[in-house]
A and B are shown apart, each in its own frame.
Chain A
């Protein structure tokens, strides 16, 4: 019977498809959870490590490649350094995808999310001389009382001043602002036709510095409660708003720049509030700009700045954890940190490297000074979208209501804390 044979064959085809389907599903891309504190997997023979970094430019990329190549040569392993164009997105997907790179830059603000999700391998106990790191940095990378990963380096925010524009406005070294009012006054003086006084990033990563100077902050010192609506914070935002309102300060996007450093380098802004990383880009992209770096002006409650750091994250799912830890120890050794500092301007995360660094880079004293009173980022799991929402509010600060912006953050942050 033809029809029955046809039917039978159809059934066979269907079964075959089904079998294919189930076979494919059996592949099982998921394995269970991150064993974040088990002993490292030891293995013999050379291993091939994969590293993912976010680079500020060719200088940083080349320096990291050189440093890892040196380690690879002595250890007999290989390291494949990849530069992420969008590390947040690429790492997030890599963790969920189950095959993350072995070792990667981990931003302080993203760290708690990764740690909470069990994506990170906690190797703090295997780091050479862990107490040599600045305590503030070490605590930034501690989650659930566990020190997870070695701080790569750190940076602080300071004030960059274009010397030529400064002189042209009739200002002298004595005019370098040390208070908010002075900052506002010089910014106004520096604002001319095509030049804006101050370029400031439109995110909490810059604007929070004023809150610190006002004696406020988004969270309490121990990070347990949200204190965004405190009057000190309102005062800080009101001040920034007043500068934005009269045009003596502008956000980079208004200046057609990707970030304040670009506006500063191009001479569209006479001052910028950026961190150590601005040095590398000035050197590479705008070598002719003559500038100096000063500490941020003090606010009503004294000096204040923000502290940025990243750590060398190692994936919980990495199969080369022992080798990765070894590489991190090599990269965070004093000489390597100084080499990185020379190449792209970050500051060593080890206190034992401080003296040598200051000696080598006297012009960085404003950045180094910030290390004394700098405040680390708000880092709690689940806060990324809350902080992003705050940034959204800050982008509209020029016409927005500081109180409303802070109140909205307070509400969302409290909800996220639960």
Chain B
């Protein structure tokens, strides 16, 4: 069996175990209480998004006058039209930037993280142990304390305000390397060895034998990277300056922090926020199971 036990075990343990103890279950009142609790809690978590969506179709006075109402009165597309009219920024461009950067970063991470994770797990070379300890150490460095020096490095190497500066530094992340290494540690080496005995080179074995086997871990990594780089804010804040390189999240933050007499304009701001949330939401609902697993793995890593 070559399925990675560590990963699948996690996945199955998350899956609901409905109905195991239905016979002789708790009394009705307890059940009712449980449901009431759940529903109240769910409302706390769902209503803000519902209000957000409703408000994007409201007029400014309606939004401030009836903040709780889920029915826009009157219904208007003004906020959305304004968002894409270009006067508050070039949102299609920001969307493109976000997609471009996210996709490239994710592709890079999946490839380079698994390369490095594989090497650290399987290949025997001098300095491997020290290198892995370095990865562990680097994982602990909090991103926000390096804003100024990262900016300096980008400037020094001439990558400031370029796509390269937004992408390359994010292409490898220590946490991803760690996840991949843990994964390879947990799978059997026998198939690879068979391939190697058949005369395949190291890279060949990695590419055509190991990677296909690593699918579950790769999916987890893809999702974590996608979500992480799409939502990335602070790094892009210091890595770029021009509007041409602005990502959606960055544009959203600036739209909201800019003070200049623009007023509160909540329908517009909430529409922009919703627009920036939709892609991650779609990915989330499509790959929910993997998200759940990713959260647990990412968590263990810090």
CB atoms of A and B under 8 A apart anywhere in the complex?
yes
Residues of A that sit less than 8 Å from B by CB = 6-7, 10, 24-25, 27-30, 54-58, 61, 82-87, 89-90, 93-94, 96-99, 256-259, 261-262, 266, 277, 281, 285
B132-140, B150-158, B222-230: which lies at the A interface?
Answer: B150-158
Cβ–Cβ < 8 Å partners of B161 in chain A: 97, 99
Please state if B156 and A93 are interface contacts (CB–CB under 8 Å).
Answer: no
CA distance A97 to B155 in the complex (A): 6
Given A10-B126, A90-B241, A285-B263, the answer on whether A85 and B157 have CB atoms closer than 8 Å is: no
From A98, A259, A285, contact of B155 by CB (8 A): A98
User: With A55-B260, A56-B261, A61-B87 in contact, do A30 and B156 touch (Cβ < 8 Å)?
Assistant: yes
**Contacts of B125 on A, CB cut-off 8 Å?**
6, 10
Q: Least Cβ distance of B112 to chain A in Å? A: 14
Chain B positions 50-71 with a Cβ under 8 Å from a chain A Cβ: 61, 64
CB-defined interface of B132-170 with A at 8 Å, one 1/0 digit per residue? 000000000000000000010011111011000000000
Asked if residues A28 and B261 are in contact (CB atoms below 8 Å), the reply is: no
Chain B stretch 231-285: residues in CB contact (< 8 A) with chain A:
238, 241-243, 251, 254-255, 257-265
Any A CB within 8 A of the CB of B72? no
Question: How many angstroms from the CA of A86 to the CA of B160 in the assembled complex?
Answer: 19
Question: Would B263 and A262 count as touching, CB distance under 8 A?
Answer: yes
Q: Decide: A29 and B89 in contact? CB cutoff 8 A.
A: no
- Are A258 and B87 in contact, with the CB atoms below 8 A? no
7 closest Cβ pairs, A-B complex: A27-B158, A85-B254, A85-B258, A29-B155, A24-B157, A262-B263, A258-B263
Instruction: Check if B127 is an interface residue, CB within 8 A of chain A.
Output: yes
Interface digits, B111-136 against A, CB 8 Å rule (1 contact, 0 not)? 00000000000000111000000000
Chain A min CB distance to B261 (Å): 5
Please measure, in the bound complex, the distance between the C-alpha atom of A57 and the C-alpha atom of B254, giving whole angstroms. 15
A8 to B273, alpha carbons, bound, how many Å?
Answer: 53
Bound complex: CA of A98 vs CA of B158, how far in Å?
10
A29 touches B160 (CB 8 A): yes
With A29-B155, A82-B242, A94-B241 in contact, is A281–B160 under 8 Å at CB? no
B126 touches A6 (CB 8 A): yes
* Chain B residues whose C-beta falls within 8 Å of the C-beta of A281 in the assembled complex: 261, 263
Chain A residues with CB below 8 A from B151, complex form: 93, 96-97
Q: Please, which residues of chain B bring their CB within 8 A of the CB of A30?
A: 155-156
Please name the residue on chain B nearest to A260 by beta carbon.
B261
A104 to B158, CA, bound (A): 23
Query: Do the beta carbons of B61 and A261 come within 8 Å of each other?
Result: no
> Which one, A29, A54, A96, A98, contacts B157 given CB within 8 A?
A29
Cβ-defined contact, A93 with B241, below 8 A: yes
> In the assembled complex, how far is the CB of residue B12 from the closest CB belonging to chain A, in whole angstroms?
41
- Chain A residues contacting B258 (CB-CB under 8 Å) are 54, 84-87
Judged by DSSP, the binding face of B is loop
Question: How many Å from the CB of A265 to the closest CB on chain B?
Answer: 8
A258 touches B264 (CB 8 A): yes
Known: A85-B251, A256-B264, A257-B264. 19 other contacts (CB 8 A): A27-B157, A27-B158, A28-B156, A29-B156, A54-B260, A61-B87, A82-B242, A84-B258, A85-B89, A94-B241, A98-B155, A98-B160, A256-B64, A258-B261, A258-B265, A259-B263, A262-B264, A266-B61, A277-B261
**A25-B156, A85-B258, A94-B241 known; A7 and B126 CB under 8 Å?**
yes
Contact for B257 among A86, A93, A96, A259, CB less than 8 A: A86
Measured CB to CB, the closest approach of chain B to A169, in angstroms, equals 23
Pairs across A and B, CB under 8 Å, 23 listed: A6-B126, A10-B127, A25-B156, A27-B158, A28-B156, A57-B262, A58-B87, A82-B242, A85-B251, A85-B254, A86-B258, A87-B260, A90-B241, A93-B151, A96-B155, A97-B161, A99-B160, A256-B64, A258-B261, A258-B262, A258-B263, A258-B265, A259-B263
Q: How far is the CA of A170 from the CA of B121 in the complex (A)?
A: 83
**Shortest beta-carbon distance, B103 to chain A, in Å?**
24
Taking CB atoms, residues of chain A closer than 8 Å to B243 are 82-83
Please, which residues of chain B bring their CB within 8 A of the CB of A6?
125-126
The CA of A43 and the CA of B158, in the complex, are separated in Å by 25
Question: In whole Å, how far is B166's beta carbon from the nearest beta carbon of chain A?
Answer: 13
Q: Specify which chain A residues have a CB less than 8 angstroms from the CB of B158 in the assembled complex.
A: 24, 27-29
Bound together, the chains give a CA A86 to CA B259 distance in angstroms of: 7
Q: How far is the CA of A82 from the CA of B251 in the complex (A)?
A: 13
In the complex with contacts A10-B127, A29-B160, A86-B254, A97-B241 CB distance below 8 A? yes
Q: How far is the CA of A90 from the CA of B244 in the complex (A)?
A: 13
Binary interface encoding of chain B residues 25-51 relative to chain A, with 1 for a CB under 8 A from any of its CBs, else 0: 000000000000000000000000000
**Smallest CB separation, A156 vs chain B (Å):** 16
Measured between beta carbons, the chain A residues less than 8 angstroms from B126 are 6-7, 10
CB distance from B244 to the nearest CB of A (A): 9
Question: Given the complex, which residues of B lie within 8 Å of A84, measured CB to CB?
Answer: 254, 258
Question: A10-B127, A61-B87 are known contacts. Are A85 and B61 too (CB-CB below 8 A)?
Answer: no
A90 to B87, CA, bound (A): 18
CA distance A25 to B153 in the complex (A): 8
Out of B155, B160, B242, B260, name the residue touching A56 (CB < 8 Å).
B260
Partner of B89, one of A56, A83, A89: A83
Chain A residues whose CB sits within 8 angstroms of the CB of B264 once the complex forms? 256-258, 262
> In the complex, which residue of chain B has the Cβ closest to the Cβ of A27?
B158
Encoded as 1 (CB less than 8 Å from any A CB) or 0, chain B from 69 to 100 comes to: 00000000000000000010100000000000
Interface centre among B126, B260, B262 (most CB of A within 10 A): B260
Chain B neighbourhood of A90, CB < 8 A: 241, 254
Residues of A within 8 A of B64 (CB): 256, 266
A258 to B242, Cβ gap below 8 A?
no
Output the least CB separation between B158 and chain A (Å).
4
